[in-house]
Structure formats: C-alpha cells, structure tokens
C-alpha cells in the first residue's frame, strides 16, 4: 500500500524549482499558479534567496506549490493514502480530491499572509526538543506555559510560545534532551495564531469541497477524514492548535501502508518515519532527477 505525503514549513531551500522547470509544461504550470494567486512562485522557487523564502507569507505557498508540482511530475494516481505536515495538509487535501489544486493555493496564500500578520503582533517563537523522556519533555513544556505545538514522534517535540520561556527551556532542557531554536516568525499552532483563523474560515466557506477519493489522515488526531468540508474545517482549526504528526504516523502503520513517497521539498518527514516506523519503506522525492526511481519505488507498493 502506497502513501504520498507532503512536508511542512521549514523544508524550503533556495532554487528548489530549478530541476523541475526544465520541463516546459511544469514551468507553465507554475506561471499559471502564480497568476491565479498573485504571487511570483517561479521567482520564489528559482532566484529568491533564503531570507525571502523564509518569510511565512512566501514560504507556505512555495512549499505547497512544490509538493503539487512534484505530484504532477510523478503522475501516480492509484495510491491509497495521503497526509501532510501542517501546511502540507493543503497539498494533501488537493491530492485527496477534497479541494482543487488552485483552491489549495488560494487558501495557502491567505494562510501564509494571515499567519505572518498574527506573528507580527506578539513576539513568540518555537524550539525543537530532541530526545529525552516524552512524559518529562511534555511536563517541562507545560511548566513554562509553553505549548507542544508539533508532536512529531521519533523523539521530537516542538515547543512554542513566549520567547523568555523558550530561553528558559534552552537553558534547562529536560534530562537527556537538547533544545534547538527554530528560525520561524512566531508560535505557530498555538493561541498566538488565533487572529488568523477567522479570515481563513471566511475564505474557505466559499470553497467547493468533495468527498475524498484518497484516504486523508488529519493532523488533528490521526483520523482518516472523508468529508471534504470537514477536511477544510480541520485545516483551518489546526492553524491555532497542535499538529499530532506522531498520530499520523501511527495511522500510516495501522492502515497497512508499506511504502511512503515524500513530495518535494522532501526529507524531513522521511527522516521521522525512518525513526518511528522503520517497517515502512520510504522515498524522498527531492528533484526531477529522482522521478524514475520514485516511479519504480511506487510500483513495488501499489
């Protein structure tokens, strides 16, 4: 059983469209998407520097566009399961058939803008806690009034909230762990993002939805969601609530998934799966050079 999954924010790198735009049809697709959402995705994916694509308002549309571009190039339709980490859920929603690709890009354009705006109103941040006892890590995060915003499994939990509290966590990490500050603009997936929720709810209320054709696993609780409107509702709510990627990986296992392809910009989710679900074979689709190998991999799991 094959799953195709989509990464989240922080996975972007400068020039990540370069190998894909050699194909004129894919380049034309990026230009078309850029025109439809009023953002130059071609520039962001080819000539923009690291600082420009780190901006939340740019990073989120760029990442979702990269995943959808990779899925187009891969051309595999008969896979069984999809999911995405955080903003990657919008790419997964399009892959599942719940919403169209263009609507996914419209939503992520607004999502990135509104989350950047919310982050600018209250200084806050995020830090990854790597290793340590899970119970002790969660207790230390709660004791500082921080939120476990990304429970990523595989010994990685991302704490989010007040910068002074994050500094205290860094100075006194839980036993056996290390704390690494993340280069993000705010405390995503916490109450700090609440101002972004209602504008997105207003936008998504006008989006056409459909029952999913591919099983879609939700970040909220690891459940498979089939109703398109519920998919969107969960994605909007997730802006200000934690991501339970650990539960998504458990569901991949329980569904009987044997192979996972991570769409571009790939690498992070495959790394987590290798540590948390080593029985699942993985493939990171990083560039157009990987397409033949990815199709061969898919053929072993469909």
Q: Which residues are catalytic?
A: 86, 189
* CA distances from residue 113 to 55, 160, 197 in whole angstroms, order as listed: 10, 20, 12
Do 283 and 262 meet the contact criterion of CB atoms below 8 Å apart?
Answer: yes
**Within 10 Å of residue 57's Cβ, how many Cβ atoms?**
19
Do 288 and 31 meet the contact criterion of CB atoms below 8 Å apart?
Answer: no
DSSP 153-190: STTEEEEEE-HHHHHHHHHSPPTTEEEEE---SS-TTS
Do 60 and 9 meet the contact criterion of CB atoms below 8 Å apart?
Answer: yes
CA dihedral 248, 257, 263, 52 (to 10 degrees): 10
* CA distances from residue 159 to 11, 47, 123, 174, 260 in whole angstroms, order as listed: 18, 32, 15, 12, 27
Give how far the C-alpha of residue 149 lies from the chain's centroid of Cα atoms, to the nearest Å.
13
Structure tokens belonging to residue 278: 């080593």
């Amino acid at each position: 059983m094959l799953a195709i999954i989509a990464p989240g924010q922080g996975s972007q790198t400068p020039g990540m469209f370069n190998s894909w735009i050699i194909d004129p049809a894919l380049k034309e697709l990026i230009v078309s998407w850029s025109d439809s959402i009023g953002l130059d995705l071609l520039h962001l994916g080819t000539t923009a520097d690291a600082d420009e694509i780190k901006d939340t308002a740019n990073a989120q549309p760029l990442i979702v566009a990269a995943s959808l571009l990779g899925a187009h190039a891969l051309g595999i339709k008969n896979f069984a399961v999809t999911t995405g980490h955080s903003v990657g859920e919008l790419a997964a929603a399009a892959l599942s058939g719940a919403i169209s690709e263009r609507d996914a890009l419209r939503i992520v354009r607004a999502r990135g803008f509104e989350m950047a705006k919310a982050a600018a109103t209250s200084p806050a941040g995020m830090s990854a806690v790597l290793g340590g006892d899970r119970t002790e890590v969660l207790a230390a995060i709660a004791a500082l009034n921080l939120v476990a915003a990304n429970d990523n499994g595989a010994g990685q939990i991302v704490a989010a909230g007040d910068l002074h509290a994050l500094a205290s966590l860094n100075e006194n990490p839980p036993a056996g762990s290390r704390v690494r500050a993340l280069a993000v603009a705010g405390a995503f997936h916490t109450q700090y993002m609440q101002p972004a929720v209602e504008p997105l709810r207003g936008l998504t209320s006008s989006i056409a939805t459909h029952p999913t054709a591919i099983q879609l696993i939700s970040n909220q609780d690891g459940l498979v969601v089939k109703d398109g409107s519920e998919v969107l509702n969960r994605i909007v709510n997730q802006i200000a609530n934690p991501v339970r990627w650990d539960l998504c990986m458990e569901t991949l296992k329980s569904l009987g998934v044997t192979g996972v392809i991570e769409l571009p910009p790939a690498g992070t989710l495959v790394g987590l799966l290798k540590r948390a679900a080593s029985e699942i074979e993985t493939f990171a689709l990083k560039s157009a050079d990987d397409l033949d190998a990815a199709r061969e991999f898919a053929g072993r799991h469909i």
